[in-house]
Chains A and B, each alone.
Chain A
Amino acid sequence: MSAATTAVERQSALREARLWLRDRPLIPLLVLLAVLIATLHMVRPGIINEGWVASWIRFAIPLAILAACQTLAMLTGGIDLSVGAVASMAAYVMATQAPIHGPWIAIAVALGAAALVGLVNGIGIGVFRVHPLIMTLAMILVVSGLATVYFITMVATGVRVPAEMLWLGQQNAFGFLPHSLLLFVPLAVIILLILRRTGFGRLLYAIGDNEMAARLSGVRVWQVLITLYVLSAVLAAVAGLLFAGALNTASTQLVNNYLLPSVAAAVIGGTSIFGGRGGYGGSIVGALILGVLTTLLTVAMPMLGFVGVAQEAVRQIIYGAIILAVAAAYTRITESG
């Protein structure tokens, strides 16, 4: 009798815990982050020091900004695959214009070019109703092609990342706080406020939840989508500039490899790819998790006996498996109960 009662009690407690977790997706993510950091500490004691924290945050920040592009687009049920190409293009334009016109004009030109790409994306998706996946995929061809054409005309100028971007991208305050936090913290707060407190943010959720309902309630969906994709492209460009600063180089392919991690960070962060559910806080933690994961895998591979190419191979396999596992766990938590 009493055993049965405790079983029922335990079950309802479990259900409650699950509901509680569903409303607070950040908690399990932060736990996962802590577990990963603890594992890293156990695998290689002493690796977690000022320098590691600085470089961890330094590379997580541009990834988190790219993840913002995906989060915003995914909330409306879309996706922005052109972020990698746009970020690379912006970084390269900035690094080639800076020696000629000075850093500020160069940055403005880079952001302006990105906004133009975003406008084309937005018009295609919002006005002509092209599927975001296709529209942004096609824009990769256009943007990277144009960037290469530009590269050929600018090859004599050479690439120089201005000192201002190096200060922002490479240097730290107090040894462990990257200067890029000065840019990222306000940016993240603004994005969080946009999503939680403004009409635009609510419209993004509304469109992702039920576009027809949003349209019938009088939302001009095309205007929201154009704004969204312009915003996404400009954010991607900012991330590209930060990457250029952090790596002190720029090329037309610099950021291309970060497209898939940006989607992964948003997915791990709990934003639904079907739209209407999620938020930016999770994506930031997602970017941090991917950062720790990269270090962890780099450190653990030689210990497990993988060297050379096999190390990279196993690293990729585990990376993919973890993205899938987190997404599956997340689906389980949000679907049940």
Chain B
Amino acid sequence: MSRSVRVAGALKDVPLRSAIGRLLGSDAWTLGLFVLVIVLLVLTRVINPSYGPTALQGLALGTLPVALAAVGQAIVVISGGIDLSIGSVMALANVTAASLFVGASPELSVGVVVVVLLLGLVVGVINGSLIVFTRVPDIVVTLAMLFVWAGAALLVLGRPGGTVTPWLRELITGSLFVDFLPRALLVLAIVVGVVWLPLRRSKLGLSLYAVGSNRLAAFRSGVAVGRTRIAAYALTGFFAAAGGLALTASTGIGQPIAGPYLLLSVAAVVLGGVSLAGGRGGLLGPIVAVYILALIRADLLFLGVDPNWAEVIQGGIMVLVVMFGAYVTLRQRRAAA
């Protein structure tokens, strides 16, 4: 009797909790990140009173490639993997787009965007298939592929060059409706929303989380583990290519050398509350974490801190946050035991 009441109570809780979860990205950590980003924005405004809509637009534009990389990395980490080749894939997409845009009409350049995104998907499928079929650990495979895709990027474009089609650049610069809504942020929300929201509710989305939290249990429940992991890497490749496109659009050229996006994407994923063990976390946390990292850096620069110290402090904050997160999990596990 009491048992059935408890079950009924638990069932009643579920819709409410998941409704809040849907809104905020499923846990208190994400809520904390939102608070932090608002605090940081206020702080930035206090430090530098001239920090206004234009600066916000610049922030959203400058962080768009990192944010897309963080989204890609988060998906593969949720599925229990990691993609060390993400920076190289971005460079490959960056130079492919930049060199195809040369002399392309606006209509043709739409095709270029599609081709580059498809290229990202194919690259991801190759990464994932190699991991699944060779049974070599994902860290090793993506480490090896880091070289392969970096080499491919150099083959496409030997030295920085290429161009960007004007409409793509206009798509992400400036603001829409109101000054405080940067177009880059909107593009990010649309790209991530269109791909991730339907996906998360689909069978594949559930499989991603299942494979990430317990591969064997997922297999025994009838999840096609190999196919799911390949799909995760394909999605990562897609978002990495989108990040490369954003890079082309924001810098206006193609750079065959990979930027610091591997480091930044993993940092954002961890700060964003996605467990490296897989199976836990969402995409909102990592995106907010990207802005937190960028704002901290901007604030330090406004305060006149040497950029190199800013890097040290950024690394230090990352270490402390991760230590804190690990400590809290440890306490919880002990309390539960």
Contacts and interface: CB of A to CB of B under 8 A. Distances in A.
Contacts of A263: 140, 143
A271 to B, nearest CB: 11
B136 interface: yes
A312 B157 CA distance: 12
Interface residues of B, number: 46
Contacts of A260: 143, 146-147
Contact of B147 (A124, A267, A317): A317
Contacts of A131: 276, 322, 326
B145 A324 contact: yes
Contacts of A331: 134-136
B85 to A, nearest CB: 9
B158 A310 contact: yes
B316 interface: yes
Nearest to A330: B136
B315 A139 contact: yes
Interface stretch (A58-66, A102-110, A143-151, A199-207): A143-151
Contacts of B155: 310, 313-314, 317
Interface string B142-164: 01111110111111001100000
B221 interface: no
A259 B44 CA distance: 36
B144 A327 contact: yes
A328 interface: yes
Nearest to B266: A137
Interface in A88-123: 120
B195 interface: no
A175 B309 CA distance: 46
A145 B312 contact: yes
Interface residues of A, number: 48
Contacts of A13: none
Given A149-B308, A149-B312, A312 B154 contact: yes
B95 to A, nearest CB: 11
Contacts of A142: 312, 315-316, 319
Given A313-B155, A317-B148, A141 B266 contact: no
A328 B310 CA distance: 41
Given A129-B330, A310-B155, A134 B263 contact: no
B59 interface: no
B139 A273 contact: yes
Interface in B114-139: 130, 134-137, 139
A142 B267 CA distance: 13
A231 interface: no
A142 to B, nearest CB: 4
B327 interface: yes
B159 A309 contact: yes
Contacts of A274: 137
B315 A140 contact: yes
Contacts of B151: 312-320
Interface string B48-68: 000000000000000000000
B134 A324 contact: yes
Contact of B322 (A134, A141, A309, A320): A134
Contacts of B150: 316
Nearest to A151: B308
A328 B146 CA distance: 16
B179 interface: no
Contacts of A319: 147, 151
A144 B314 CA distance: 12
A273 to B, nearest CB: 5
Which of B144, B158, B316 counts the most A-chain CB atoms under 10 A from its CB? B144
B273 to A, nearest CB: 13
A135 interface: yes
B41 interface: no
B135 A335 contact: yes
A315 B82 CA distance: 25
Contacts of A140: 263, 315
A53 interface: no
Contact of A310 (B139, B141, B146, B154): B154
Given A130-B322, A134-B276, A328-B136, A141 B315 contact: yes
A156 interface: no
Interface string B316-328: 1011001100110
Contacts of A124: 319, 322-323
B136 A320 contact: no
Interface in A280-337: 308-310, 312-321, 323-324, 327-328, 331, 335
Interface in A146-185: 146, 148-149, 152
B170 interface: no
B107 interface: no
B276 A320 contact: no
Contacts of A141: 263, 311-312, 314-315, 318
B315 A320 contact: no
A110 to B, nearest CB: 19
Contacts of A144: 311
Interface string B237-257: 000000000000000000000
20 contacts: A124-B319, A124-B323, A129-B329, A133-B276, A138-B318, A140-B263, A145-B310, A145-B311, A145-B313, A145-B315, A260-B147, A263-B140, A263-B143, A264-B144, A273-B139, A309-B159, A313-B153, A314-B151, A324-B141, A327-B140
* A-B pairs, 3 with minimum CB distance: A141-B315, A320-B147, A316-B151
Given A128-B330, A133-B82, 12 more contacts: A124-B322, A128-B327, A133-B139, A140-B263, A142-B319, A145-B308, A145-B311, A145-B313, A152-B306, A267-B140, A310-B154, A324-B130
Interface of B: 82, 130, 134-137, 139-141, 143-148, 150-155, 158-159, 263, 266-267, 270, 276, 306, 308-316, 318-319, 322-323, 326-327, 329-330
